[in-house]
Amino acid sequence: MDLLTRTMKVKNLALELGFDACGFARAEPLSDEARRLESWLREGRHGQMDWMERHFEKRVDPTKLVTGTKSVISVIGSYHYPDNLAYDRKPGVPKIAKYARGRDYHKVFKKKLHTMFDRMKKQIGNIHGRVFVDSAPVMDKAWAERAGLGWIGKNSNLLNREYGSFFLIGEILVDLEFHYNAPGTDHCGSCTKCIDACPTDAIYEPYRIDSNRCISYLTIELKERIPEEFRDKLGEWMFGCDICQDVCPWNHNAKPGQIEDLKPRKIMMKEDLSFWKSLTETDYKELFNGTPVRRAKYPRFRENAAIAAENLSG
C-alpha cells in the first residue's frame, strides 16, 4: 500500500468516527517548542501544575515516549453547538466552560481513537502505537499545528479556519509513515481581541499565557483560596473560561460539532444562582458524573460558585 492510499484510508476512518479533521506529522523532536516550554516553566508560568515539569524529554520527543514511533496522527472534534451559543448570549448567567458541559472528552475521544486504531490494524496490518487524549506528556497543540489542523493563536489555543477553536484534540503515535501535511500557518494577523478581552491580563504577550492569572487555572487547578485580586474578575465563571475564545473572529462562523456525547447537558446551563450555591457534595458528584467538571473537586467548585453568585448578584 502506497503512502497516499494509506493516509487517505486512515483519514477516512477518522471522519467516519465523527472527528472533524485528521492530519499527519513526522515524529521528531520539537526543538523550538522545547526551548519555549523550558523558558515558560523556568519563569513559573505553569503555576501549581507540576506535572508539566515531569518527563520533559518525552514531552518534546514522541519517539522517546513510544519507542518506534514514526508518525503522529492528530484529530480534532468540535463542541461548538447552538445550545451553547444560545445560553452564552444571555446576560448575567452562571457559566461552565463549553467543553465541560457534555460528557468527559477524555472518555469520548479515547473510545473513538481505540476504535480507529483497531480498524487501522485490520486495514493495514501489524502496526504498533498508542492513543493519547490530554493524558500524557504529549504537546497536542504543537502536533496538531504540524499536522496542518490549524495554528496556535495569540491566546495559545489551536485555531482552525473552519472550526474556530471550540474543539478538542487527540493523537495516535504509530510506527508507520504517511503522506505528511504542511504545518498550519498563522492567520491571527494584527487582531488582539483575545488579549484585550482577558479580564485578568493572563495573556501577558501574544502567544504567551501566565497560568497564575488565567481564570481556567484559578477555577480548576489552583489548590488554595482564589486571591482577592481575581475574585471579581472571575465574573460569572464557575469552571473554566471561554472569554478569549468567545471574542475570537474565527469562532463567529465556525462549523458546528457533530459528536453527540460532546453536546451540552441541559443541567449545565441552569440559570438559578441559588441552585449552584446550595449544591451539596453528593449533588456535585451525581450532577457532574462523567464530565470534566469533576476535575475541580467539590471544595474548589463550591468556592467558584459562591464567587460567581456574588459577582452576578452585586
- Model confidence pLDDT, tens digit, residues 35-88: 999 999 999 999 999 999 999 999 999 999 999 999 999 999 999 999 999 999
- Say if residue 115 is in the same domain as residue 161: yes
Whether residue 16 is contained in a domain is answered as yes
Interstrand relation of 151-152 and 129-132 (parallel, antiparallel or unpaired)? unpaired
Segments of the chain with pLDDT less than 70:
none
Question: Residue 186 catalytic?
Answer: no
Supply the pLDDT for residue 81: 97
Give just the sign of the alpha carbon dihedral 149, 154, 157, 161.
Answer: negative
Supply the pLDDT for residue 136: 84
Supply the pLDDT for residue 1: 80
Supply the pLDDT for residue 300: 97
pTM tops 0.85, yes or no: yes
Last residue of a domain, one of 116, 147, 174: 174
- Say if residue 115 is in the same domain as residue 219: no
Q: Cβ(174)–Cβ(125) under 8 Å?
A: no
Q: How many domains does the chain have?
A: 2
Whether residue 308 is contained in a domain is answered as yes
- Say if residue 201 is in the same domain as residue 300: yes
Measured distance CA(127)–CA(13) in Å, rounded: 16
- Say if residue 168 is in the same domain as residue 47: yes
Supply the pLDDT for residue 218: 98
188: which 3 cell numbers? Answer: 491571527
Among residues 256, 261, 298, 262, the alpha carbon closest in space to that of 279 is found at: 298
Range 67-94 burial, b when 16+ CB lie within 10 A, else e: eebbbbbbbbbbbbbeebeebeeeeebb
* Catalytic annotation, pick one of 61, 134, 175, 261: 134
